[in-house]
Amino acid sequence: MAASSDTPMLRQYRELRAQVPDALLFYRMGDFYELFGEDAVWTAAALELTLTTRDRDTPDPLPMCGVPWHAADGYLRRLLDLGKKVAIAEQVEDPKQAKGIVRREIARVLTPGLAADGVEAREPSFLVAITGAPGAWGVAFLDASTGDLRAADLADLSALAGELARHAPREALLGRDIDCTEVRALLGEVCTTVIEDTRPDRHELSRRFGVATDALGAGLGAASTALRYAAERLRADLRNVTALRTFRVGTALGLDDATIRNLELFRPLRGTGKKGTLLGLLDRSQTAMGGRLLRDWLASPLMDVGAINERFDAVDAFTPGLRGTVVPLLGQVADLERISAKVAQGLGGPRELVALGLSLDRVATIASCLLDARLAARLPADLSPDVAADILHWLVEEPPAGLDDGNFIRSGAHPELDRLRGLATDAKGSIAGMEERLRGETDIGSLKIRHNDVFGYYIEITKAHLHKVPPAWHRKQTIANGERFITPELKEYEEAVSGADEKRIRIEGELFRALRERVGQHVPRLQAVARGVAELDVLATFAELAATHRWARPMLDDSRDIELVGSRHPVVEAARRDERFVPNDIKLGDRARLVLLFGPNMAGKSTLMRQVGLTVVMAQMGCPVPARSARIGLVDRLFVRVGASDDLARGQSTFMVEMGETANILAGGTARSLVLLDEIGRGTSTYDGLAIAWAVAEDLHDRIRARTLFATHYHELAALTESNVGARAMHVAVAESGDKITFLRVIREGPAPGSFGIQCARLAGLPPGVVARATQLLKQLEKKRPRVASTQLSLFGLGPPPEVEAPPPPPAPLADPVREAILAVDPDALTPREALEELYRLRRLAGE
Ligand SMILES: Nc1ncnc2c1ncn2[C@@H]1O[C@H](COP(=O)(O)OP(=O)(O)OP(=O)(O)O)[C@@H](O)[C@H]1O
Ligand SMILES: [Mg+2]
């Protein structure tokens, strides 16, 4: 690319290009955004666009590709999803008025976290700024598409990890000081920019938000960093960011990344989309605002009984009759939040403003239906009818999308505009009249007056009649079957028409921009309305879901119990059509804080555990739960862990990940936590795994005292219930007849009577020959297992952990039935399973 041979346009392009070194440049030319050079080569490949060249004949032609401006959103989204930044250079003067080359400027730079257009309607688009120093982190999350800004100080890396998991930011800004591997690892693939200056701009923050700037430490710098970055990139003042919300860790139910993943709250463990997730089940909200709020509530369930009950009261107030009127109305409310955000940035076209105006009217109707004070209070008193009136006074109801041709201002709204429109219509009428007259005068019946953008108006005459054309006409163009002419009279009309039209379009544009500017002044009020609508939408959705799926309002208290009667897995149940989902009763509490859950493969252990976790999440977000009744003592942190081999999809060194995640529980769990462990320990050799599982279970029971459900195939763990008062064994039962098993899906007290692995394998379709061989092998193994059995016995005999003193042995009974029964046992004749069963029989005997 030889700069000396550059055309003025290319020189302009290069100047703009240099302003945005880290972004692709979309350069507006007429109806297209064009990309040049390396940008073009890369983008054409990524988006499968046709790569062409400019100045084909030069020795070193410049590659280029382009996308039509009206379809740019989709392409932009894809580039941003690929982690790219895109600068948009717009024409800033009318090409018709331009002397020489049209002036262009960078209108905004879109980055993965800062996309004005093309963001998923029902998802937030967070940019996170992380500042401070290890141990005193500051974070701020900014969603510029709505104006949501929240900041916090965080004391440790796990808190930072938690907030990142909760907000799922699309882009990150890192202060230079903390650009370290730990933080980078937490961010994973998120597009990250290192920022030199992360100092808080206290003056600006207090001017904007009126916040006391000593309320936050490092979080303040993060908020400033996010705002500066966004304002600079979007070339906008971000008037839609009207509040800084500070939050504290520990005020919401703690959900870490592994828990969010394993519970499939937002994404399925396998596959993409929302199918099979709790979000997919719950998000039946009518508006995009409701969809985003629901997601937010799901990511941050509450920790305050009062606040949760307030939500449930509102859900209760949404009676079927009220839902019947309000839900359809909600469906007609546009995305007030994102439209006002665009308007505040001087973006948004006539259609969006009209949608805003009509929606405000709709909200007023909704408000008039809400007689219940608990619901009415969700909407602000001021529903901005003046803003709606202003918009609907000026704009027609179905305006065109763009500003280029006008036709969006109502007639009657502006006298001068009406006059110009009249002129244009008159002129058009005159042209029709002129056509008639000229046909008469020239005796050419086929004479037509036409118009195109290049020549304006002209008279078209076919070859056959050319001899009749009056000499005073000016020939303008020869075409295949005739000629085109103009006359002074026609020229005059044309000037009147196009002059009037240009003026009309200009005035319409000015009126629109003034209107948008006025509406932009009211963004805080509009946001309050949007927030209220979103809440009503989510609450109505909860009420609707509860009715559809027979969910119940749970009772929440500060106890450490969880009592579910007739509990189901919400997602699995909803996905069932033919087979019924079998409800179960589940009880956890101080006397049953560690529940070991046994049962053969496929019995339903994992399902049961997850349904408890999901139920707690739903309850604390204010959503009715899949149970006949439920009483839940508030949970502060929820941990869901799955043993390594269930987690293949992630393709990591699974056992290490599993152990790391388990370590986090032992470090962060409390007596208020709920821990769900699904076959933890199985990713390594049997005895290592068993020993780890055992020690973890003991620590949870003794030291942490968290409510724990532990699903496992290690039958040996049942022995934990012997010496630990808060430990219980339960199993998901199957019915056995011959060598066949039927899954009952009900949970029962006590450990499972057998493991039935081979029967399960048969059910799964393992060839009969292999099943027969396995059965034979199992028999042999069980016979030959004295060594194994003794290991088991030694495990049983491990007794309490070293630092705890052993309880005194119970006084030996003299002569009793238990003693007799023990003496009657021939240990060498028993399989390990029989031995275990014998042990239980003995225990029962002893208990009688
Ligand atoms: N209560 C229930 N009612 C009906 N179907 C159920 C119920 N619980 C589980 N299921 C179904 O049973 C199947 C197996 O469940 P799950 O994966 O929970 O078993 P598991 O005991 O964890 O098995 P594994 O030990 O192999 O991990 C799933 O398809 C699930 O949908
Ligand atoms: Mg399982």
In a domain, 642, yes or no: yes
- CB-based pocket (< 6 A), ligand 1: 572, 581-582, 599, 601-607, 745
Asked if residue 584 lies in contact with residue 610, where contact means CB atoms within 8 angstroms, the answer is no
pLDDT of 118 reads: 65
The residue whose C-alpha atom lies closest to atom 29 belonging to ligand 1 is: 602
Atom of ligand 1 nearest to the CA of 580: 4
Q: Are residues 560 and 670 in the same domain?
A: yes
Q: Are residues 566 and 659 in the same domain?
A: yes
Q: How far is CA 51 from the centre of its chain?
A: 34
pLDDT of 404 reads: 82
pLDDT of 793 reads: 36
Phi-psi category of 609—alpha, beta or left, where left has phi over 0 and alpha has psi -120 to 50?
A: alpha
Which of 261-265, 686-690, 708-712 shows the lowest mean pLDDT across its residues? Answer: 686-690
Q: How far is the CA of 576 from the centre of ligand 1 (A)?
A: 13
pLDDT per residue over 770-793, tens digit each?
878 888 887 877 776 543 333 333
Q: Are residues 184 and 310 in the same domain?
A: no
- The residue to which tokens 């949608």 are assigned: 355
Tell me what the pLDDT averaged over the chain comes to.
Answer: 87
In a domain, 257, yes or no: no
Q: How far is the CA of 602 from the centre of ligand 1 (A)?
A: 5
Confidence band for 812, pLDDT divided at 50, 70 and 90: very low
CATH number for the domain spanning 625: value is 3.40.50.300
Q: Are residues 579 and 545 in the same domain?
A: no
Asked if residue 23 lies in contact with residue 56, where contact means CB atoms within 8 angstroms, the answer is no
pLDDT per residue over 198-226, tens digit each?
999 988 888 888 876 677 889 999 999 99
Q: Are residues 135 and 194 in the same domain?
A: yes
Q: Which residue did the predictor score with more confidence, 296 or 844?
A: 296
State the ligand closest to the CA atom of 745: 1
If one counts the domains in the chain, the total is 5
Complete DSSP assignment for 579-625 = SPPPPEEEEEBTTB-EEEEE--TTSSHHHHHHHHHHHHHHHHHT--B
The residue whose C-alpha atom lies closest to atom 15 belonging to ligand 1 is: 604
The residue whose C-alpha atom lies closest to atom 16 belonging to ligand 1 is: 604
In testing the pocket of ligand 1, which one of 585, 602, 641 has its CB within 8 Å of the most ligand atoms? 602
Q: Are residues 542 and 580 in the same domain?
A: no
In a domain, 615, yes or no: yes
In testing the pocket of ligand 1, which one of 607, 744, 747 has its CB within 8 Å of the most ligand atoms? 607
What is the C-alpha to C-alpha distance for residues 288 and 285, in angstroms, rounded to an integer?
A: 8
Confidence band for 3, pLDDT divided at 50, 70 and 90: low
pLDDT per residue over 658-679, tens digit each?
888 888 899 989 999 999 999 8
Q: Which residue did the predictor score with more confidence, 410 or 652?
A: 410
> CB within 8 A of 82, min separation 6: which ones?
46
pLDDT per residue over 553-609, tens digit each?
999 999 999 999 999 999 999 998 888 899 999 999 988 999 999 988 888 999 999
pLDDT of 807 reads: 45
- Cα 475 to Cα 383, 726, 739, distances in angstroms: 62, 102, 100
Q: How far is the CA of 714 from the centre of ligand 2 (A)?
A: 13
Confidence band for 816, pLDDT divided at 50, 70 and 90: low
Asked if residue 370 lies in contact with residue 376, where contact means CB atoms within 8 angstroms, the answer is yes
pLDDT per residue over 405-428, tens digit each?
888 999 999 999 998 888 877 777
State the ligand closest to the CA atom of 568: 1
Q: How far is the CA of 601 from the centre of ligand 2 (A)?
A: 7
pLDDT of 63 reads: 93
* pLDDT tops 60 at residue 235: yes
Range of 310's domain?
Answer: 283-384+525-549
Q: Are residues 640 and 755 in the same domain?
A: yes
Q: Are residues 628 and 761 in the same domain?
A: yes
State the ligand closest to the CA atom of 602: 1
pLDDT per residue over 301-337, tens digit each?
999 999 999 999 999 999 999 999 999 999 999 999 9
What is the C-alpha to C-alpha distance for residues 627 and 581, in angstroms, rounded to an integer?
A: 12
* pLDDT tops 50 at residue 699: yes
In a domain, 629, yes or no: yes
The DSSP output letter for 112 is T
* pLDDT tops 70 at residue 763: yes
pLDDT of 755 reads: 67
State the ligand closest to the CA atom of 605: 1
Q: How far is the CA of 698 from the centre of ligand 1 (A)?
A: 26
Asked if residue 26 lies in contact with residue 88, where contact means CB atoms within 8 angstroms, the answer is yes
Atom of ligand 1 nearest to the CA of 603: 21
Q: How far is the CA of 721 from the centre of ligand 2 (A)?
A: 22
Q: How far is the CA of 572 from the centre of ligand 2 (A)?
A: 14
pLDDT of 644 reads: 63
Segment 524-531 shows an average pLDDT of: 96
Q: Are residues 375 and 498 in the same domain?
A: no
